[in-house]
Amino acid sequence: MARIIIISNRLPVTVEKYKDKLAYRPSVGGLATGMSSLQKDYECLWVGWPGIDRDQLNSKERVSLVKELGKMGNYPVFLSQAHIEGYYNGFCNKTIWSLFHCFTQFTIYENHLWETYRQVNQIFCQTILDIIKPNDLIWVHDYHLMLLPLLLRKRMPDLNIGFFLHIPFPPSEIFRLLPWRRELLEGLIGADLIGFHTYDYVQNFLDSLLRICGYENSLSFINYQNRIVKVDSFPMGIDFDHFHNSSKQEEVKQEIKKIKNKIGKNKVIVSVDRLDYTKGILERLKAFSTFLEDNPEYWEKVIMIQVAVPSRIDIPQYQQLKQQVDEMVGYVNGRFGTIGWSPIWYLYRSIPFPELAALYYLGDIALVTPLKDGMNLVAKEYIATKNNGTGVLILSEMAGVANEMSEALIVNPNNRTQISWAIKYALNMSVQEQQRRVFSQQKRLRDYDVKRWADDFKNHLVKTIDEQQNLATRYLTPKNRLKIIKDYEQSIQRLFLINYDGTLVPFHLKFKDAAPSQKILQTISLLAQDPENKVVILSGRKKDILNKWFKNVKVDLIAEHGAWLKKNSSGWKTIVPLEKEWKGEIRPILEQYTNRTPGSFTQEKEYSLVWHYINVEPTFGRTRAMELMNSLLYLTSNLNLEANHGDKVIEIKSAGVNKGIAAYQWISEKKWDFIISIGDDWSDEYTFSQLPASAYSIKVGPGISQAKYNINSAAEVLTLLKELAKKL
Ligand code: ADQ
C-alpha cells in the first residue's frame, strides 16, 4: 500500500511528562478527521512536534516515545525550548502570522528568528529523510514549514510533495515587506501542488511570485526549473455529519439541557475563537455594546456567550489582548448588567465537544467576525449543527469562509453599527428565512466536507505528478531530433512557424528590447533562402519593431498576437475572425461564482460568456463582481480575451485575434509536407491547436501544452534550426 506522509508543526498527539512518566493526549481536530479519510487508499504517517521539549527527554525516553507514537501512526520531530522560542513563538507567530493577516504593526523582522525558522525547517527535513521512501506522497501543512518543500526537493528531486496553507496569503504589497520573501516563495515552489483556501489567496501568491521572483504562470501552472507546479484553491471543510448529528448524542443532550436551564428565555449569541487579535473579539464586544446601547428593549433578553481558547500566551500581543478583552467584558457587564442578568458570559478556556456542540445548537445567532481569517471553521461548524435549520450566522467579509457562505449576514468586522443592525435583523428573522439560508449552506458543507477536501487535494497532487511524468517523457530526444531532420530532408514544401520572444530569444529578454542576435538572423536567413521553405515569425510585438528587426530577411511576419500579418513582402494586413476554444477555461470559473453567489447565473453566447448578477443583493453582487474581474485578470491576458464589466454583468469574449488564427492563413495556403511550429507560452497554444496531425510542434520550457514535444531553451531551438539550415 502506498504511503502518505502528513507533516505539520504539531502532531495530533501531545506528549507530557508527569513524575518521569510520559503521557499521550490525542487531539481529534478537523484536520485529523480529514487525514483519516485518506487511510482507505494509503498507509498514513503523521510527522510533527509532539509538544514536549527534547531536553526533557533522555535517550531511553526518546526511543520509547518514537515507539509509542509509532503505534498511533505518528513520528516525532524533536525540538528544544530554544527552537520553539525562535521558531514557533518567534518567526511563525511574530512575523508570518501577523504579516500574512495584514497586521503589519505587530510584525517584527529579526534575523535570529529567521535563522531559527530555517534551522527548524532543516530539522524537519532531516527527520523526514530518515523515514521516507521514494514513492511516498508528502503533504506539508501550513506556514510553519514553508521552506520544507524546497529542502526536501533538493535532497530528493523526484519526491511527490503537496503543500497547503491554512492562513491567508497576503497581497503582494504586504508580502514584499518581508526581508526573506524570496526564500519563502522559493521554499514553497519546491512542492508539486500548492493549495490555499480561496482563489484570492491563489492570486495573491501568483502575483507575489511574478513580482518578486519573476515566475510567470499559465492558468495557475508555474514552469519552474523543468518542473510544473500547480497552484489552486481547496476550501477546507468540516466533519459535517459529526456536527449535524451531535444533538442526538447523549452527552450533548445533557449539555443542551443544562445550558438551556441557565439561559432561560434569553436569546443567545455565541462566539467561539482562539484568543487571537485576528479574530476581532474586542471589536465584536464593542459592537455588541453598541447594539445594547442602541436597543434598550433587548436588555435582559439577549446574552452573548464568548468562548475564547487561550492561545500563544507567551507572546506580548496575546497577553495584552487578554487584558483588553477582560476589561471590555467587565465594562459591558458593568454598564448594562442587572441583578440576575449579565449580557456577556465569557469563558476563557477550551471547552469539550459536548459543550461546544450544545452551544452551537442553542445559539440563536453565531457572531463570527474575524478581522482576517484564512477560512474559519467555527462558522461552518455552527451551521452544520443546526439540524432543524434555525439560527443565523453573522459573518465577517474578511474570513475566507465568506466566499462560500453568502447566505450569512455578511458584515465588516470594524463596522459596529452594521454589526448592531445585523444582530437586530437576525433576532427578528422569520423561521422560514433562517431555514432557507441554513439549509442552502448545509448542502454545500455536506457535499464538500473535510474528507472530500482531503481527497480532492490528494487527487490533485496525484494528477499534477502524472502531468510531470508525461512532461518528462515528452522532451525532445536525440532520436526525435534525427527524425525531424530526416523528414525535413525528404520534404519539398516546408512551413516554419516560429515564435519570437522566449523561443528565438531567451525568456528573460521577453519584456525588453530584445533585437535578434547576428546568429539568429543568419540562421533564419539561411532557412528562408531555400525556395522550398516558408518561414513565419510570430510575435506579440508591434509590427514596426518586427519590420525593423527582420527588414533584411525574407520572412513573413505575424505581429501583435495575430492582429497584423505580413505575407510575401506585401504590406501589413489585419484579420478579425472569431473563435471560442477558450470557453472551456473560463466556464468553470463562472460556474464557481454562480454556485457561490445565489441569484447569479451564467449565460453562454456563441462567442462570449456572460455572468449576470442582476438578481443578487446589490452590495454583495458588486463585491463578487470585483472579485471575479480580479480572478479573470490573469486568464484574460493569457488567453487573449477581454472581460468587460457592464451594468450587473461581466462579459468575457475573445479579443478576436490570436496567433493560431493568423498562422492558419499560412497553414491552409497549400499542402505542406513538413510543418514545424515552435513557441513557449499560452499564445502559442493557439498555433499548436491549428496544426495538422503530421506537423511537429515544440514547446520551449516545461509545462502542459498541446505541442508534441518540449525543449529546454531558446538556445536549443537555435541549435535545432541551425542543424536544419545546414541541410540545404
Ligand atoms: P484557527 O485560527 O484555529 O485555524 P478556526 O478555523 O476557527 O481557526 O478553527 C478553530 C477550531 O478550534 C474550530 O474547530 C473550533 O471548534 C475549535 N475551537 C475554537 N475555540 C474553541 C474552544 N473555546 N473550545 C473548543 N474548541 C474550540 C487556522 C486558520 C483558520 C482555518 C483553520 C483551518 O487560522 O482560518 O480555518 O486553520 O485551516
Strand-pair partners of 195: 164, 232
Report the candidate in 691, 711, 686 with the shortest Cα–Cα distance to residue 558.
686
| Percent of the chain whose predicted confidence (pLDDT) is above 70 | 96
How far apart CA 411 and CA 187 sit, in angstroms, is 36
- For residue 308, the model assigns a pLDDT of 96
Contact between residue 293 and residue 329 where contact means Cβ atoms under 8 Å apart: no
Distance 8 CA to ligand 1 centre (A): 16
Asked whether the predicted pLDDT for residue 709 surpasses 70, the reply is yes
Q: Residue 656: what pLDDT? A: 64
Cell reading at 562: 495575430
DSSP state of 89: I
Q: Is the pLDDT of residue 510 over 60?
A: no
Q: What distance in Å separates the CA atoms of residue 179 and residue 108, rounded to the nearest whole number?
A: 11
- Taking 70 as the threshold, does the pLDDT of residue 351 lie above it? yes
pLDDT band at 52 (very low <50, low <70, confident <90, very high): very high
Decide: 476 and 710 in contact? Cβ < 8 Å. yes
- The answer to whether 594 and 604 are in contact (CB under 8 A) is no
> Residues 52, 36: contact at Cβ < 8 Å?
no
First to last CA, the chain: 57
What is the set of domains in the chain, with CATH numbers?
4-233 (3.40.50.2000), 240-441 (3.40.50.2000), 474-576+657-725 (3.40.50.1000), 585-654 (3.30.70)
The 10s digit of each residue's pLDDT in 521-547 is 999 999 999 999 999 999 978 888 999
Whether 167 lines ligand 1, by a CB cut-off of 6 Å, is yes
Section 49-77 average pLDDT: 95
Residue that the C-alpha cell 507567551 belongs to: 314
Find the mean pLDDT for residues 370-380: 97
C-alpha pair distances (Å), 192 with each of 70, 159, 187, 227, 236: 27, 9, 12, 8, 19
What pLDDT is recorded for position 28? 65
Decide if pLDDT at 169 tops 90: yes
Tens of pLDDT, residue by residue over 674-695, are 999 999 887 798 899 999 999 9
According to DSSP, residue 37 is labeled: G
pLDDT band of residue 322 (cuts 50, 70, 90) is very high
Q: Ligand 1 centre from 356 Cα, in Å?
A: 12
Q: What is the pLDDT of residue 541?
A: 82
Segment 596-617 mean pLDDT? 80
What value does the mean pLDDT take over residues 479-492?
A: 94
Give pLDDT tens digits for 548-559.
999 999 999 998
Task: Give 211's pLDDT tier (boundaries 50, 70, 90).
Answer: confident
According to the model, what pLDDT value does residue 640 have?
A: 73
Is residue 712 very low, low, confident or very high in pLDDT (cuts 50, 70, 90)? confident
Q: Which is higher by pLDDT, 631 or 330? A: 330
CB of 722 within 6 A of ligand 1: the answer is no
Please choose from 318, 345, 378 the residue to mutate so as to test ligand 1's pocket, defined by most ligand atoms within 8 A of CB.
378
CB 35 within 8 A of CB 46: yes
Q: Round to whole Å and give the CA distance between 386 and 396.
A: 20
Section 608-620 average pLDDT: 79
| 375 CA from centroid of ligand 1 (Å) | 9
The minimum-distance atom of ligand 1 relative to the CA of 352 is 25
Q: What angle do CA 238, 241, 245 make, to 5 degrees?
A: 130
> What's the confidence (pLDDT) of residue 607?
60
CA atoms within 13 A on the CB side of 224: 27
The dihedral over CA atoms of 332, 334, 336, 339, expressed in degrees to the nearest 10, equals 140
Kindly calculate the radius of gyration of the chain based on its CA atoms and give it in whole angstroms.
Answer: 30
pLDDT in tens, 618-672: 667 877 888 898 888 877 877 778 787 766 788 787 766 678 989 999 999 999 9
Cα 438 → chain centroid: 27
Give 409 Cα–ligand 1 centroid separation in angstroms: 20
- The pLDDT value recorded for residue 624 is 86
**Residues sharing a CB contact under 8 Å with residue 260, sequence separation 6 or more, in sequence order:** 362
Q: From the CB of 256, is ligand 1 less than 6 Å away?
A: no
Take atom 20 of ligand 1 and give the residue whose Cα is closest: 273
Instruction: Please indicate whether residue 142, judged by its CB atom, sits closer than 6 Å to ligand 1.
Output: no
303-330: average pLDDT: 96
Q: If you measure from the C-alpha of residue 309 to the centroid of ligand 1, how many angstroms do you get, rounded to a whole number?
A: 9
User: Which residue CA neighbors atom 19 of ligand 1 most closely?
Assistant: 273
Share the mean pLDDT of the chain.
Answer: 92
Quick check: 161 pLDDT over 90?
Answer: yes
Give the pLDDT band (50/70/90) at residue 509. Answer: low
Short-list 337, 333, 335, 450, CA closest to 384:
450
State residue 311's pLDDT score. Answer: 93
Strand positions, DSSP E, 13-70: 13-18, 21-26, 43-49
Cα of 57 from ligand 1 centre, angstroms: 30
Virtual torsion, Cα 440, 446, 447, 450, nearest 10 deg: 130
Is residue 495 within a helix (H) or strand (E), and if so which, with residue range? strand 494-499
User: Which amino acid would we find at residue 572?
Assistant: W
Taking the centre of ligand 1 as the mean of its atom positions, its distance from the CA of residue 400, in whole angstroms, is: 13
127, 47 contact by CB (below 8 A): yes
219 pLDDT more than 80:
no
Q: Is the pLDDT at 577 greater than 70, yes or no?
A: no
- In 3D, which of 240, 280, 276 has the Cα closest to residue 368? 280
Question: Is residue 355 lining ligand 1, measured as CB closer than 6 Å?
Answer: no
Please state the φ and ψ torsions of residue 220, each to the nearest 5 degrees: 70, 15
Ligand 1 centroid, distance to 377 Cα (angstroms): 6
CA of 197 to the centre of ligand 1 (A): 14
What pLDDT score was predicted for residue 576?
Answer: 60
pLDDT at 136 over 80: yes
What is the average pLDDT across 315-340? 97
pLDDT digits (tens, 9 = 90+) for 379-394: 999 999 999 999 999 9
**pLDDT, tens digit, 9 for 90 and up, residues 390-417:** 999 999 999 999 999 999 999 999 999 9
pTM for this model (two decimals): 0.78
- Ligand 1 atom at minimum distance from 377 CA: 6
Q: Decide whether any atom of ligand 1 lies within 6 Å of the 92 Cβ.
A: no
Indicate if ligand 1 lies below 6 Å from the C-beta of 356.
Answer: yes
513 versus 699: the higher-pLDDT residue is: 699
Query: Using a CB cutoff of 8 Å and minimum separation of 24, what contacts does 421-427 make?
Result: 422/394, 423/269, 423/287, 423/288, 423/291, 423/302, 423/365, 423/367, 423/394, 424/291, 424/295, 424/298, 426/364, 426/365, 426/392, 426/394, 427/267, 427/298, 427/302, 427/364, 427/365
Could you tell me what percent of the chain has a pLDDT over 90? 73
Q: How far is CA 50 from CA 46, 118, 124, 380, 427, in A?
A: 11, 19, 13, 28, 44
- Residue 599: predicted pLDDT: 84
